[in-house]
Amino acid sequence: MRNHIDIDYVHSRAIVREIGERLRALLKPEPELPARLKTQIDRLRELERTPSIVPDAEHWNKRRR
């Protein structure tokens, strides 16, 4: 480091605590989703796992030949 500064343990810990407090204030956990929205997202996830009833492109190409 170009500008080396010696900091004792007490000051070092105070700086670390202050940084931690500021990060906690900035990175608050996101609030819980409303129940209705959560239900809809869960339903979308279920639908993504179910097989599609729409034939894929390969199926259509075979029928045209």
Q: Where are the domains of the chain?
A: 9-64
Q: State pLDDT tens for residues 33-58.
A: 899 999 999 999 998 888 777 777 66
Q: pTM for this structure?
A: 0.40
Q: What are phi and psi of 27, to 5 degrees?
A: -105, 50
Q: State pLDDT tens for residues 9-42.
A: 999 999 999 999 999 888 888 788 899 999 999 9
Task: Give yes or no for a contact between 7 and 15, defined as CB atoms under 8 angstroms apart.
Answer: yes
Sign of the dihedral through C-alpha 46, 51, 52, 56: positive
